Amino acid sequence: MNNKKIILTIIISMATISLVALFWKNSLLMVLILIILSLFKHSIFPLKREFLLFVLGGIFGTLGESIVIVSGAWTYAQPHLFNFPVWLPFLWGLAGITGLSFYEGLMGDKS
């Protein structure tokens, strides 16, 4: 187990949640914040093929959420693309790479 990796990925996750709660109304700023957080995460815990994982997480996370949105489970206050905000794929991408780093921290893997 890598406690440093676990703690820092939890901090990144909490910062992400807090910043989304504060800035979700400003889409451009939110995209910029999520990109900066992703680059910060990459700088401290890089992953192999991280950009690909970020893109796939963004695509599949948003696709899955779009299907749920269409079913009527919830809606976004300011949707931009297909009933979701433009920053959502960036959030899912960050969630994917941060989640994988957290998993590596739990399992003690070296990246």
Tokens found for residue 110: 């070296």
Count of structural domains within the chain: 1
Which residue is associated with the tokens 């990459």?
A: 42
Confidence of residue 75 (pLDDT cuts 50, 70, 90): confident
**pLDDT at residue 12 in the model:** 97
What average pLDDT does this structure show over 91-96? Answer: 98
Tell which residue, 22, 99, 24, has the closest CA to residue 54: 99
- Residue 24 carries which DSSP code? T
C-alpha 73: how far from its chain's center?
A: 21
What average pLDDT does this structure show over 67-80? Answer: 80
Range of the domain at 50: 3-107
Reported pTM: 0.89
- Residue 74 carries which DSSP code? -
Partners of 18 in the beta sheet? none
pLDDT tens digits for 37-54? 999 999 999 999 999 999
Tell which residue, 53, 49, 19, 24, has the closest CA to residue 36: 19
